[in-house]
Structure 1
């Protein structure tokens, strides 16, 4: 394919015609290729998948005894000896994005996908890998999987850092611990709340309005945060896909209340959970829990990002080098 470009340039060089028509055509064509090269180089930095694609993204290990309804991307190991993991019961099989991707080892009684592929890079020992729907099981290069994971996790970090800089257009009313309220009269197409983690330690929270647009909740604080608060009223599972919690600096988060609604970015934190269900995509260092993760994903993309998988494009080298060869050939005939 790349050589076809070179032949085309040579043909332009040889067919100069009257008054240097071929030269002017070649000049315009090289200008077009220069622009195309810029576009190709820009496409290489397009956003990759994030919490809008995966139910769970972990830099390190996973240890759970409950189902995960969507896809998982694990940078470390599935470390759950004597336990079983059921994944992807609420998604359709995807030929591009695998249901289970594990860079490291898998240690469990079995890992089962209802839809989609299982891909791993390390050892599986005596773990049974089971496909209940369409899909395949394969071992791939750990370095390849690690590169794929690193790009995805960098997207998690970048998104978290971006969201925490946004100015709030809503407030969090903490006057009544049993009726904590997220309130806003903004008509913007993105609502932002900047709150403190200590405001969420106990009590119940809801919205003082009906959510219809994406909502970012930046939660400031450091160290460990053990949450016993819970959603109520109109902060339901049905609106979970509109909400993203950004715990940008915490290093440990425990979800101990009656479940949690909304996706979570916590790129520096180990997460634990013990009661209820977790409705949303999670991205963190590690996860240890006993509750189901429901596939209620947050799909808003920050400005300038492009969701989905990047399609490989011709390297810029071939585009620029081809133009150089054609120009040299023209000068040689002049």
Structure 2
């Protein structure tokens, strides 16, 4: 397997190296003060993962929250690189949804499918008046159905690039350019998924083991690493009617689960035990082309599916975390099944920085394309405008702990001071000799 490099990593790497350079200058100058190097999270492509905006909640509630709106999130919660189909009795999908292909809703017996804001979930929708659903191609709603993007005073936009039919509330808006900032993400997710699963030509080294016994799938960590890496072979581990638990996984640790196999059928009965790691768990599927999330339990953690030719079928009662797929999605089920909007705040592996030229900052204007029907299947040589304050995009790559811009400015200033001290010292030494 060839080494795949994650292009968006390099900009963060440059920032880190700049900060380290400032530290080195001060050390060489014999500065009389010290400071600690902050921890940097390696995010998903395009700034995906964390909650974005000025109204993010400090804490998220337990799953199945049905109270007041507790905040707003500008980031993408569901990304589909192919087509998004709503079938069966699927009920709702919370947060900002982006599908590069088509959106087709045809529920069994008809009914409403809520997007953006939902009755039960985190209760953190996108900002009022912003896009709730962005469709690159056609938007189709069956005659017996309704696509609903509002609740009370909370209301969002439904944007599409092709044709539309059926009942959409509020009325859908034709905007072929709305998808442009998100086209490159399809290829970037593919690259990132491979990178997280493999380190060069070898599978990424694990920190723990996975076992299945008496209906319980146990992920046993090393008790200390803040990045816990597991490999789950879907052909060898029974995940039918399973209970999911972690052992020896530190509080706050990132849990990266690389799921091996082209066909994966998950049937989870209970995953409540891993809810404390809900916002730092990533289920990564680098090779799978046929994935099923079923069972009677709520899934915990975010999902990354890298294969552009994949189809994922979700019939589980609830998916609690980001859902990012380079392929297609079928949301179905025999009862009200839901996607809930929870961030991913984990610290992922830093991939090789000697790969392709990184995409410019998301503040760069979106590339011109021939239309929404030509999604890219790999990293582009053009800008990658990831999600932000609406389709135009103006967020920068997030840095854990504090503002990357502020840190860069602060450390840059310290570096200048340190460099001046070094120069003065050398000058005085030269004068003395």
Assess same fold via TM > 0.5: yes
1:111-166 alpha-carbon deviations (Å, 9 max, x no partner): 414454332211122432328xxxxx64223xx44542321222211220111023
Partner secondary structure for residue 215 of structure 2: helix
Give 5+ residue unaligned stretches, structure 2: 1-10, 16-43, 51-74, 118-122, 199-203, 366-433
Match status 1:208 vs 2:247: yes
Match status 1:173 vs 2:208: no
Partner secondary structure for residue 131 of structure 2: coil
CA 69–146 in structure 1, closer or farther in 2 if over 3 Å, else same: closer
Would you say the 8 A contact 1:106–1:127 is kept in 2? no
Match status 1:195 vs 2:226: no
- Tell me the equivalent position of 1:226: 265
Would you say the 8 A contact 2:135–2:179 is kept in 1? no
- Tell me the equivalent position of 1:235: 274
Give 5+ residue unaligned stretches, structure 1: 1-38, 132-136, 314-334
Task: Tell me which protein shows more helix as a share of its residues.
Answer: 1
Partner secondary structure for residue 156 of structure 1: helix
Report deviation, 1:51: 4.6
CA 247–278 in structure 1, closer or farther in 2 if over 3 Å, else same: same
CA 128–117 in structure 1, closer or farther in 2 if over 3 Å, else same: closer
Match status 1:149 vs 2:182: yes
- Tell me the equivalent position of 2:133: 100
- Tell me the equivalent position of 2:103: 78
Match status 1:128 vs 2:126: no
Find the partner of 1:60 among 71, 82, 105. 82
Report deviation, 1:74: 0.5
Higher RCO (CA-CA < 8 Å; seq separation 6+): 2
* Structure 1 stretch displaced more, 67-76 or 238-247: 238-247
Report deviation, 1:297: 2.5
Would you say the 8 A contact 2:320–2:339 is kept in 1? yes
For the residues of structure 2 that align with 1:169 and 1:148, how far apart are their CA atoms? 36
Q: TM-score, normalised by structure 2?
A: 0.54
Find the partner of 2:312 among 267, 271, 290. 271
Report deviation, 1:63: 2.2
Find the partner of 1:182 among 213, 219, 222. 219
Greater Rg by CA: 1
Q: Which runs of 4+ in 1 moved over 6 A?
A: none
For the residues of structure 2 that align with 1:309 and 1:88, how far apart are their CA atoms? 26
Would you say the 8 A contact 2:254–2:346 is kept in 1? yes
Partner secondary structure for residue 239 of structure 1: helix
Q: Output aligned runs, 1:278-317, within 5 Å.
A: 278-284=319-325, 285-290=327-332, 291-300=337-346, 302=348, 303=350, 310-312=362-364
Would you say the 8 A contact 1:242–1:298 is kept in 2? yes
Name the Cα RMSD after superposition: 3.2
- Tell me the equivalent position of 1:139: 174
Aligned residues: 261
